[in-house]
Structure 1
Amino acid sequence: MRANLKLKFEKPLVLPIHYNHIIQAAILKLLSDENYSRFIHDQGFKYEKRHFKMFTFSRLEGNFLIDKGNKTITYFDGASLQISTIEEEFMKYIINNVLLNEGIKLIGNHIQVEKVELKHMDVEEGGGRITTKSPIVVYSTFEIEGRKKTYYYNPKEKEFEEILRKNLIKKYMAYFGKEPKDKYFKITPIENLKESIVIYKGTVIKGWNGIFEVNGSPEILKLAYDVGLGAKNSQGFGCFEFI
């Protein structure tokens, strides 16, 4: 399920260019139950050695201006933010606290939420075209001469699709405790592909934006829509929308 928040700014909102951690912190603060918040933040849903927080979010969408000299991005008037999760309890806290507080807090600023739209996606026909709302991250970590190296794949490499598919299966098993009945998943890059480099708390992360064609079983595609494609979803990566 997905919440689309329409934000209104009384004055221009100035953020660092790399602001994912700020949005993530604001979302986690909306989880007002301390035990549940700690579970999502510290543990999440586990499969083997992997822990999944089962939520993702978009970039802020609105009119903006980038100041490369000061490394800031300024949003004018308003923006929209999409928050997506498979967890009903997670979404309940988000919606209730946004309405109760009449907004959210970003770096100490109270941001008014003009409108909240809740959307459930039922995938029945097996896929379609999507556009990214935040970059899709696909990577592998290798050890070379005793040092760990991270390699980020681009959408035209064959590993991109296979790693995405395996990642979705692991998420499914972490949340539902069983394998999906149908593991089919395919993604094809279509157009407007652009690499996005984001610095998250000092770490460089590389992902890809663009338009893709996705096909797969309904259970796999719905999970992908709710929790995001690829890695680092809870840091603001892998959110997409069908077009």
Structure 2
Amino acid sequence: MKLNFVFKVNSSNKLVLGRKNQHLLQALVYNLLDSEYARFLHTEGFVYEGKRHFRLFSFSKLYGNGPIELRDDFVLFQPPVRLVITSPVNAILEQLATNALSMGEIRLGNNLLSCKEVKAEHPRAEGEEIEFRTLSPIVCYSTLKKYDNSDFTYYYSPKEKEFGGQIYANLVKKFQLIAPQKEVPEGAVKVESIGRPKEDIRFFSPDDNRPIKGWSGRFKLCGPKSLLQIALDAGLGAKNSAGFGCIELVSNKQEGR
């Protein structure tokens, strides 16, 4: 399920954020949850096989009412501003929507906001092929070893087979968390870019100088319908709860075409 939030800015005539602002958007999401549930989700989440922790939500980049303005190390948004959050977990969505509408003021960095509107949508994968656009970059990576045995992070591009392989493996893990009583559907998931995807490099916060490399654009996703639905609801690839891999359905392939 997908929630579309519209916020007005109460503190000034524009919303101002540093360019490295992923941590602020993530904090906004957690602050809209009930405190105990936010603590559970942030520290523990949904645990896969005792070691992998999933939060099972994703969110888009922030959208302003028109083009953003870059000024030195800051990004300026013309209000109202919009944010999309997706999740397959009803408790997450219900708390986000209820609290956003009931809070008087919501802080985002040094900005004070209030929620004007929350619109719920239920995009559905109707078959075994969908077309989608990214609302935040898709990230797939591995931690590898350098010659001196130190770690480094390698980010895959859509041209590399590991990109699609990781997307499929990640969706299977999410499926097993969301529907543990069901068998994983047969058939792999394949992802294919439509046109040339854009490399999108971001930094989580000003204190973290490690670049996160993702890919934005339009893509085609083929595979079992239930896994495609998880992609729409929980996000694609890694680091979803840090603001990566949020996607929007463009179309379902019609059978017989």
TM-score normalised per structure 1: 0.93
Task: Indicate conservation of the 8 Å contact 1:169/1:183, yes or no.
Answer: no
Q: Which letter maps to 1:132? A: T
Give the match's secondary structure for 2:91: helix
Task: Indicate conservation of the 8 Å contact 1:152/1:206, yes or no.
Answer: yes
Give the match's secondary structure for 1:168: helix
Higher strand share: 1
Match of 2:140 in 1: 138
Task: Indicate conservation of the 8 Å contact 2:133/2:249, yes or no.
Answer: yes
Q: Which letter maps to 1:195? A: E
Q: Which letter maps to 1:26? A: L
Q: Which letter maps to 2:221? A: V
Match of 1:186 in 2: 190
Q: Which letter maps to 1:61? A: Y
Give the match's secondary structure for 2:29: helix
List structure 1 runs of 4+ shifted beyond 3 angstroms: none
Match of 2:153 in 1: 150
Task: Indicate conservation of the 8 Å contact 2:192/2:219, yes or no.
Answer: yes
Task: Indicate conservation of the 8 Å contact 1:192/1:209, yes or no.
Answer: no
Displacement of 1:39 after TM fit? 1.3
CA distance in structure 1 between the aligned counterparts of 2:102 and 2:8, rounded to whole angstroms: 16
Match of 2:57 in 1: 55
TM-score normalised per structure 2: 0.88
Match of 1:8 in 2: 8
Q: Does 1:199 align with 2:203?
A: yes
Match of 1:43 in 2: 44
> Which string of whole-angstrom CA distances, capped at 9 and with x for unpartnered residues, describes residues 145-166 of structure 1?
3211211011111111111101
- Identity of matched residues, %: 37
Displacement of 1:50 after TM fit? 1.0
User: Which stretches in structure 2 are left out of the alignment for 5+ residues?
Assistant: 251-257
CA distance in structure 2 between the aligned counterparts of 1:117 and 1:106, rounded to whole angstroms: 20
Aligned residues: 240
Q: Which letter maps to 1:8? A: K
CA distance in structure 2 between the aligned counterparts of 1:104 and 1:124, rounded to whole angstroms: 37
Match of 1:116 in 2: 118
From 159, 162, 176, the counterpart of 1:159: 162
User: Which stretches in structure 1 are left out of the alignment for 5+ residues?
Assistant: none
Displacement of 1:126 after TM fit? 1.9
Displacement of 1:230 after TM fit? 0.3
From 80, 83, 93, the counterpart of 1:81: 83
> Which string of whole-angstrom CA distances, capped at 9 and with x for unpartnered residues, describes residues 113-162 of structure 1?
22210012221222221110000000111123321121101111111111
Q: Which letter maps to 1:147? A: S
Displacement of 1:14 after TM fit? 0.5
Task: Indicate conservation of the 8 Å contact 1:183/1:220, yes or no.
Answer: no
Q: Which letter maps to 1:164? A: I
Match of 2:224 in 1: 217
CA distance in structure 1 between the aligned counterparts of 2:108 and 2:194, rounded to whole angstroms: 35
CA distance in structure 2 between the aligned counterparts of 1:71 and 1:216, rounded to whole angstroms: 42
Task: Indicate conservation of the 8 Å contact 1:4/1:82, yes or no.
Answer: yes
Q: Please, which moves more after superposition, 52-61 or 213-222?
A: 213-222
Q: Which letter maps to 1:43? A: E
Give the match's secondary structure for 2:85: strand
